[in-house]
Amino acid sequence: MRLVGQKLLTDFAKAHADARSPLQTWTAEVEDARWLAQQDVMARYPQTSFLRDRIAVFNIKGNSYRLVAQISFKNGIVHVQRVGTHSEYDTWTL
């Protein structure tokens, strides 16, 4: 998959050092993946929630952080839209 929005991840990792390694792992796995449907994502990340418009919510570092991305299966693109703490996620309107 092609990953868009890596600057958000880099900036977040600078502010939350404990998220750096899990975000690097997630990034590498996504870039190596070939997801054709939601089931492919769920096979690797079973705790992922899917919302409208192909919006996926990933748990990062257990349940400490949330990453919101829109996935275009047809084009092979994962677009990171937000990343934040669990408590920040609770305030987001998605």
Q: Which domains does the chain have, with CATH numbers?
A: 2-85 (3.30.2310.20)
Pairing of β 65-72 and β 77-85: antiparallel
Query: pTM of the entire structure?
Result: 0.92
pLDDT at 63 over 90: no
Greatest CA span in the chain, whole angstroms? Answer: 34
Closest CA to 60 of 10, 26, 94, 14: 26
Rounded Cα distance between 59 and 68, Å, is 9
Rounded Cα distance between 37 and 31, Å, is 15
- Only one residue has tokens 């934040």, namely 84
Q: Which two tokens stand for residue 4?
A: 């868009």
pLDDT at 81 over 80: yes
User: pLDDT by residue (tens digit) across 3-54?
Assistant: 999 999 999 999 999 999 999 999 999 999 999 999 999 999 999 999 988 9
